[in-house]
Amino acid sequence: MKLSCNSAICGDQTCGESMKVEKLVTVSAKIPEVLYAELAVRVPEGERSDFIREAIIEKLERTPRPEKILDLDRRIGELETDLSEIKRFLSDLEVLTFSKGKANPHKFCSDDVDHKIVDYLIHYKGATTPELAEALGVNRWLVLNRLRRIERSSKRHLGKEIISYYGGRKRGKKKAWWLAEDFTGEQE
């Protein structure tokens, strides 16, 4: 039996030649009785194997190959790394400034985790330590240490904290970290 080459099966986009199927494998599938009755009515008995085989091949052609998905995931990771590096360089040059405040909250960040913490606080105005840890996919103790370090560093350089912890209830959150009102433009 000869079949045309399918790029989804052999993987060669330029092949286009026929390939010889050397070994066939039997596949069984459970389908609803109604679906089988429909298949029996529409497809003659001797052509059902070819019909099912062609349907599988057609579906495989439309399904992305795992290595392509992994390659795209790797490329996205590289882009995220490059973006955080660009943010860090801009922050070092004090070009990346927060429009509502006079100081740049990213100036006190030492790495990508710190930048993500500050970005999260800017976006959501405040967050609990477990909320930040879950959003960033890191340990909550790491987040807590980073928050404290940013808090101390900003106080040492600016004379005030850019983020602070408030144990009471505020904006529906209890025991949360908040970006200073200078950076949010809101009054407490």
Q: What is the pLDDT of residues 165-182, one digit of tens each?
A: 888 888 878 888 888 876
Which residue stretches of 106-176 are H helix?
Answer: 112-124, 129-136, 140-158
Q: Looking at the structure, do residues 116 and 172 belong to the same domain, yes or no?
A: yes
Q: What whole-number percentage of the chain has pLDDT above 70?
A: 78
Q: Looking at the structure, do residues 58 and 101 belong to the same domain, yes or no?
A: no
Reported confidence tier of residue 16, pLDDT bands at 50, 70, 90: very low
Q: Which residues contact 121 (CB under 8 A, 6 or more apart)?
A: 105, 127, 163, 177, 178, 179
Q: What is the pLDDT of residues 52-111, one digit of tens each?
A: 999 999 998 888 778 888 888 899 989 988 988 887 777 666 544 444 445 677 777 888
Q: Looking at the structure, do residues 161 and 110 belong to the same domain, yes or no?
A: yes
Our count of domains for the chain comes to 2
Q: Does 122 fall in a domain?
A: yes
* CATH number reported for the structural domain that contains residue 170 in this entry: 1.10.10.10
Q: Looking at the structure, do residues 102 and 159 belong to the same domain, yes or no?
A: yes
Give the range of the structural domain holding residue 125, as residue numbers without chain letter. Answer: 97-184
Average pLDDT over residues 120-131: 87
Q: Looking at the structure, do residues 126 and 48 belong to the same domain, yes or no?
A: no
